[in-house]
Structure 1
């Protein structure tokens, strides 16, 4: 066991002098914190106002340029770029370098990307792939940042260990800070600058170059507002002006949305552009959260159809009964589809953080660019003067080539030859040394001509550069011209729409749902469902559409329900709000206005729709008639928790041929059989029964006959009876038949379960009715595909024979159909594309 008592400490050396310095803790903490804050502000978070780059971004671009990763070269692994930057210039960790590299390559972050990335560089919602999986090279715009950097245009400083050098600022041939914007959080300050359109910023900079005393209003004629990489809409230009004036301001960003008919039955909101730095997954997640918590209503479905080819596309399906514009306003209010952007233009100017407005930012850049062009011009003139000096020496040597050779041959060494050449031909030391280094093969007559041409060119270039350097106006003109070339080559159209806040209407209470107004639910002869815009009765005969006729109309409300009655005795609930709306006046319940009933209900192969009925529990209820002559009035006690239920128990082989919503018990119930018998009696003679009941005898049928039409007629209103007779052996739809129209009042009322009276006398070749209808006048007939068919004139005799028709009749309707109407049910009509004979 270790013996602590035997442990000793070696004595300090004799020349050792112990020194303990007392330091105040608060002072030390203050100093250390200030040093840290200084490092963050100047070396990490804030960009330079001249080139708009943070130190890490500047080092990335410089290193990639030194590595030769130009746009015309191949991509290299991002990890190679990160390693080179970290090892030579930025020893602060690879993650910070790679994050900055990724942002420089993201088109949704940069208005003009500076790095051309290959691979997964992330999205507004997702992180990029690791640096070992991605590749990068400089984008064409980045070459503008490093252009002429080797021409003494900017100062260089030692790197962190003094073994390398790096530029203090980039030459920056375009206003990168305003074009691409930036964001960063330092100690005690932050910056957040919005991207802008290159063409607009260049136009403003050129105007400032031309007119240095230009005001902010003058510049805003060229730069009306930011131009975000993701497009969208900016609302609130006053906040933009405040930012341009003082360096701080706020505006709202909105997604770009359109309202479209995405399905035949529903509208939807299509989102194609989102606010800056907002991704689709974030929006989708928020919408789902709001819908789940019932804080947002009216959304039926949400699909993200974004891909590489079509770009962003969010489809938000709106429930019927909700106003899409109102739902969109709620989306703006509750989701990231509308967000605020706070501008805080903080950047380094002469090494100090300053808050700058638009004019100050442009002025700083213009001054920087003028200085860059001046230094570049001085460098180029100096290089051309040096070259001209050498060319002059070579020309002297060519003119005296023999003497030059003699001087060189008679000299003991190169030093003596250089001195003698200087003395004999009045040359400088540089010229003499260059002549000695020039191969004799270049001292020919042809080279003399080349040297003369080069001298002339150099002299002209030196004169031009001298003219630029000697005139501030010329210098600024060069800067302006180069900016114009950049805008012409790299400029793109504006993506973001600018709207003043005054042009946006937002009510305090948004009415999401469609008002529960009275209306009519309609079923047409071609099997189309629709609703009217209000409860106004349908127009008269002269105003109605010429396409098809109504076979059923039920009074209801927009947010109510109606029942679709089928031939198998089922009643299927349909939401009225799901039905398409027809115009309020001149309403055409036509092929162009409604939707097929098959979009709302699922039918069995042998099942068809025979009419509509109201689900009002206080109404008189449905009246049904079957093929075997059964009648039933249904007690309107329908189950609230079921969308599909039976309203009659049918016998084997029996089907429902007609269903009508009774408006009054004083109306007549009417049966018309295939043997041309019509029976009518008041509805009060039929006792209402519950849903499971099978009904009671409605009409007595002779052997082999069947009911082909059942409905209700108001005896107090002018009405007619239309019948069409033909042969039972002919194929359906192949014979025109003989038609007859009679006054309904000619048919006497009889008792329930009797045989009725004859409605049409059969001629030779006719043995049954093909079609029958009774209802309010005037009557209108159409073919199976909805084309109008003329009816014969009304006859006085109820039992007369018919007149040969010109076309086959598919359906008949009246001024306001209250029942199933035609002899053939609506859902049994032929397809619309099928032509009549």
Structure 2
């Protein structure tokens, strides 16, 4: 009711309805495109520069901003998730925590970026990680390399989702994280699935691209032969990898690492120690149980999971008596996840656009990013030093005129007048004048003047160095390559995944007989430690194919159900069952050991112990000859005592070790010693009388002070043979020198008596004082580099005591043909290139 004298309020105005007709198809299309854009660019695909998705980048940046560094304590993951979600990533805590968990899993990441404390799940996802309120985390040492120098204007920042914070568009990334850790993600209309690689190999390829920007894919694949999965295993078939590196898409098969061993006194078993990438043991066990219950898989008596945190993965599949373990293993590969296919799809963001990149393009994008980061960092550091130099120059002016400065300040009415007076009187800038006024008098002593002059000189030198770096693309590339090498030196680890050419060695169960006949066979050992056997004992001629990435170091005759002994540097001979070794297919004649298995799957070695050769259990002619580092030689016919699996084949003196062991075909062969001080001695094996197992051998070569035996072997004097020597410096670090190579005719070296000093085999030049590689054997000689690639050796022969020619690439292994052939010296180069090889390698 209105009061007296007041007017009633006016009626509300009439509002008309404003309805806009929208085409449903257009609205759906627009909304879907916005959603697809958000998923592709803000969630699912990694950036090609730092290899991170937005959520991963925000996690690492926030943890670094929170000070969660490797030298600090762990904090609750819930705190990290809250910080990331509240400031940078508005997509829910579960998405953030799931991404954080994956960054901490060593079986998912080749180099984990989060150091987790607590339950972060298990291999294959069989056990879920604990809730974020229970787990703790901090940045790993590797992750610090991704965020290092981010505060030096190395990358651009952008506003966060609400404009109140800033986040980096990309991280500086001191190593190629995308290739090292891989990535997976499903966007809208596209997906990415990238395999992890070995840090050392990827860095080597990136450095090669920095040095040679026109490098081809084949050049880079010399350094990166294939993926290196966190869980190890084997990759079978390399054609798909070559396709993926060329086009960005390809497939390869991953296979579990297994070996066959005696699980009981009367039963053998298949022991699985590594599974394919992203395959957990629970999945394998469930599939095996399903197949056994359905009677689709025969021959399995029991399945035990002995996996724990100390021994790692260990699945023991017990085989029934009467079944061939190799046949059962072939069925397991065929029917269970012990063999899986991995599809590579290298879809990544480049300049904000999704692109499918090959290996060279991925490395090029990273190299360009790193060059830009180092360039911006150098400009930032130069700018900071110039600013500091400007202040130091002003302070030195004040020190030189200290009395006048004090007088000016005392005569001024206020600080503003004092600053202006300093500017006018001493021609200072406003910044210099203010800095002088802010400097306490205790900083204006004579000692401080000396310190300032020293700092001034240092700043000028650093500014000049940074200016030269910014003005020279070559210097910038060298600096980036040097920093990459430092990262690889600190964080690189040995390759875990074995690469195997698909040569058809995978057989069905029906192709492997249950009862293996005791046929003659040859057992082969390669320089990379791969063991295999041939299907028969036919000689290995020089006309067959050879492994492009390996050479043979031992070939011993045996039978399919026989045994051979692996001779180690500690003087032990360890029993190896021939039946357990993989069989090379008849098509690989003579052999490529790509189908072999590492010798460590069959024997256990002590720390620092290595296999130096193979020996037959029974006498096959001349017996087993051994040579030690201190010049001792021994001939022995080994026989395993009782049921022991290993025994000493020579009693070594303190500090001595076996450097070579060779199975002699006859006593007519010559035993050869080659020493670090370039002495070569050879004498007939017949003058070394055989000894029993406990004996310590006899004097083989007389050594000079500080010299040691570098190589020991046997040479047939009736064949054309060569002597290979490579000289270098003993003070150089391993792997940093290529050395000087000399090839000489073995016939030029006269035979001498046992226990003499031999003859000089190499003349050292200035800066050389030792041999770093030595080998003697039948021609033609082939050599391989540390990465497995073949090296062409010069055809010209040098004098027996001549000096060598400087090598452009380091040699890791050398070898010659095996078996009775025509004189290889008369063979043409093409036939020689196809020779199977028996070689030696750098220790």
TM superposition score normalised by structure 2 = 0.60
1:50 maps to: 49
Aligned-pair distance for 1:285? 1.0
Query: Structure 2 CA distance, aligned partners of 1:312 and 1:231?
Result: 11
Contact kept, 8 Å, 2:159 with 2:165, in 1: the verdict is: yes
Q: Are residues 111 and 43 of structure 1, via their aligned partners in 2, closer, same or farther at CA, if it must alter by over 3 Å?
A: same
Q: Provide the secondary structure at the position in 1 that maps to 2:503.
A: helix
1:75 maps to: 74
Aligned-pair distance for 1:16? 3.4
Q: Deviations over 1:269-305 (max 9, x none)?
A: 0110000001111111111111111110000011000
Query: Structure 2 CA distance, aligned partners of 1:516 and 1:496?
Result: 33
The answer to whether the aligner puts 1:101 opposite 2:100 as a matched pair is: yes
Contact kept, 8 Å, 2:389 with 2:456, in 1: the verdict is: yes
Query: Structure 2 CA distance, aligned partners of 1:382 and 1:503?
Result: 62
2:212 maps to: 211
2:177 maps to: 176
Q: Deviations over 1:302-344 (max 9, x none)?
A: 1000111111111110000000001000000010100000000
1:268 maps to: 269
Query: Structure 2 CA distance, aligned partners of 1:98 and 1:514?
Result: 54
Query: Structure 2 CA distance, aligned partners of 1:67 and 1:505?
Result: 52
Contact kept, 8 Å, 2:69 with 2:139, in 1: the verdict is: yes
Write the mapping of 1:214-233 to structure 2, written as runs, cut at 5 A: 214-233=215-234
Query: Structure 1 CA distance, aligned partners of 2:468 and 2:487?
Result: 23
Q: Deviations over 1:173-207 (max 9, x none)?
A: 00000000010000000000000000000000000
1:658 maps to: none
Contact kept, 8 Å, 2:230 with 2:496, in 1: the verdict is: yes
Query: Structure 1 CA distance, aligned partners of 2:284 and 2:109?
Result: 21
Aligned-pair distance for 1:507? 4.2
Query: Structure 2 CA distance, aligned partners of 1:438 and 1:71?
Result: 37
1:396 maps to: 397
1:664 maps to: none
- Number of aligned pairs? 513
Write the mapping of 1:358-377 to structure 2, written as runs, cut at 5 A: 358-377=359-378
Write the mapping of 1:509-528 to structure 2, written as runs, cut at 5 A: 509-511=510-512, 513-514=514-515
Contact kept, 8 Å, 1:306 with 1:314, in 2: the verdict is: yes
Query: Structure 1 CA distance, aligned partners of 2:219 and 2:45?
Result: 28
Contact kept, 8 Å, 2:391 with 2:432, in 1: the verdict is: yes
2:248 maps to: 247
Q: Deviations over 1:445-484 (max 9, x none)?
A: 0100110111111111111100100001111111000000
Query: Structure 2 CA distance, aligned partners of 1:350 and 1:384?
Result: 32
Contact kept, 8 Å, 2:276 with 2:340, in 1: the verdict is: yes
2:65 maps to: 66
Q: Provide the secondary structure at the position in 2 that maps to 1:343.
A: strand
1:14 maps to: 13
Contact kept, 8 Å, 1:231 with 1:274, in 2: the verdict is: yes
The answer to whether the aligner puts 1:258 opposite 2:245 as a matched pair is: no
The answer to whether the aligner puts 1:444 opposite 2:457 as a matched pair is: no
Q: Are residues 96 and 158 of structure 1, via their aligned partners in 2, closer, same or farther at CA, if it must alter by over 3 Å?
A: same
2:664 maps to: none
Write the mapping of 1:392-791 to structure 2, written as runs, cut at 5 A: 392-502=393-503, 504-507=505-508, 509-511=510-512, 513-514=514-515
2:109 maps to: 110
Query: Structure 1 CA distance, aligned partners of 2:15 and 2:175?
Result: 62
Q: Are residues 15 and 143 of structure 1, via their aligned partners in 2, closer, same or farther at CA, if it must alter by over 3 Å?
A: farther
Contact kept, 8 Å, 1:114 with 1:141, in 2: the verdict is: yes
1:330 maps to: 331
1:318 maps to: 319
Aligned-pair distance for 1:514? 3.8
1:379 maps to: 380
Q: Provide the secondary structure at the position in 1 that maps to 2:46.
A: coil
1:281 maps to: 282
2:347 maps to: 346
Query: Structure 1 CA distance, aligned partners of 2:312 and 2:43?
Result: 34
Aligned-pair distance for 1:503? 5.3
Aligned-pair distance for 1:236? 1.1
2:623 maps to: none
Query: Structure 2 CA distance, aligned partners of 1:48 and 1:249?
Result: 20
Contact kept, 8 Å, 2:378 with 2:466, in 1: the verdict is: yes
Contact kept, 8 Å, 1:154 with 1:372, in 2: the verdict is: yes
Aligned-pair distance for 1:512? 6.5
Q: Deviations over 1:25-81 (max 9, x none)?
A: 100000000000000000000000000000000000000000000000000000000
Q: Are residues 210 and 13 of structure 1, via their aligned partners in 2, closer, same or farther at CA, if it must alter by over 3 Å?
A: farther
Aligned-pair distance for 1:22? 1.3
Q: Are residues 441 and 17 of structure 1, via their aligned partners in 2, closer, same or farther at CA, if it must alter by over 3 Å?
A: farther
Q: Deviations over 1:396-430 (max 9, x none)?
A: 00000010011111111111111110010010000
Aligned-pair distance for 1:262? 1.3
1:697 maps to: none
Q: Which runs of 5+ in 2 are unaligned?
A: 1-9, 519-616, 618-639, 645-843
Contact kept, 8 Å, 1:206 with 1:480, in 2: the verdict is: yes
Query: Structure 1 CA distance, aligned partners of 2:160 and 2:513?
Result: 62
Q: Deviations over 1:548-587 (max 9, x none)?
A: xxxxxxxxxxxxxxxxxxxxxxxxxxxxxxxxxxx9xxxx
2:40 maps to: 41
Contact kept, 8 Å, 1:298 with 1:512, in 2: the verdict is: no
Aligned-pair distance for 1:509? 3.7
Query: Structure 2 CA distance, aligned partners of 1:516 and 1:292?
Result: 31
1:185 maps to: 186
Contact kept, 8 Å, 2:302 with 2:319, in 1: the verdict is: yes
Alpha-carbon RMSD across the aligned residues, in angstroms, is: 2.0
Q: Deviations over 1:113-143 (max 9, x none)?
A: 0000000000122111111110000000010
Q: Deviations over 1:623-650 (max 9, x none)?
A: xxxxxxxxxxxxxxxxxxxxxxxxxxxx
2:581 maps to: none
Query: Structure 2 CA distance, aligned partners of 1:373 and 1:516?
Result: 65
1:131 maps to: 132
2:297 maps to: 296
Contact kept, 8 Å, 2:330 with 2:509, in 1: the verdict is: no
2:119 maps to: 120
Q: Provide the secondary structure at the position in 1 that maps to 2:453.
A: helix
Q: Are residues 402 and 77 of structure 1, via their aligned partners in 2, closer, same or farther at CA, if it must alter by over 3 Å?
A: same
Aligned-pair distance for 1:591? 12
Q: Which runs of 5+ in 1 are unaligned?
A: 1-10, 518-582, 584-589, 595-837
Query: Structure 2 CA distance, aligned partners of 1:516 and 1:206?
Result: 52
Query: Structure 1 CA distance, aligned partners of 2:442 and 2:73?
Result: 40
